[in-house]
Homo-oligomer: A and B are copies of this chain.
Amino acid sequence: MKAIAERSDILPQLAEVFRAHGYEGATLALIGEATSLGKGSLYHFFPGGKSQMAAEVLAEIDRWFEDNIFTPLQAADDPARAVAEMVEAVDRYFRSGQRVCLVGVIALGAARDSFATQVRDYFSRWQTALTAALKRLGLGAAAARRRAEAALLSIQGALVLARAMDDPKVFSRAMADLKKQLLAA
């Protein structure tokens, strides 16, 4: 009867449920099914219930982006290569637009207010990291900030449009454009 379940195994499964159904649409029944965990286990790991689950999922996403996107952008020797690799990593992470950005989904929904700081931080830290890389590419501070903002906007817009059109090529196309625009003189 004992657990095989580790917290680190549960969070990604939780994340997929929230991605697929949104915060309000992710019922405990769906969550239990996706994780193969009963309410007993679920509330043992997350006494705070659904909102704690979502908060921890957001925290884990944040961690992943910190390690795989933000830090490489700021620490890389070759900023141009780091920017290009960011775009490729994003394309892989979102599976060419077939996966959706949970942070974006929450931002659009009614749950935004409950997770406002986590949502805002995610994007602002991304923007900060990308801005730093762009400055090292020779852009002025203001131009770098503007270009970084435009990049995040393109990624989120591409996710919406790709899902709306049900066509991953929309996303891939946008990522190819994005790479060019970020690295343009």
A→B interface (CB under 8 Å): 20-22, 24-25, 100, 103-105, 107-110, 112, 116, 119-120, 122-124, 146, 149-150, 152-161, 163-166, 170, 173-174, 177
- Oligomeric state, in number of copies? 2
Other-chain contact of A108, B100, B116, B119 (Cβ < 8 Å): B100
**How many Å lie between the Cα of A112 and that of B21 in the bound state?**
10
Nearest Cβ in chain B — how far from A116, in angstroms? 7
**Which residues of chain B are near A157, meaning CB under 8 Å?**
152-158, 160
**How many Å lie between the Cα of A166 and that of B152 in the bound state?**
15
Q: Flag if A153 contacts B161 (CB, 8 Å).
A: yes
**Which residues of chain B are near A150, meaning CB under 8 Å?**
174, 177
Nearest Cβ in chain B — how far from A5, in angstroms? 25
Q: Flag if A164 contacts B103 (CB, 8 Å).
A: yes
**Which residues of chain B are near A174, meaning CB under 8 Å?**
149-150, 153
Q: Flag if B107 contacts A163 (CB, 8 Å).
A: yes
Other-chain contact of A149, B24, B107, B109, B173 (Cβ < 8 Å): B173
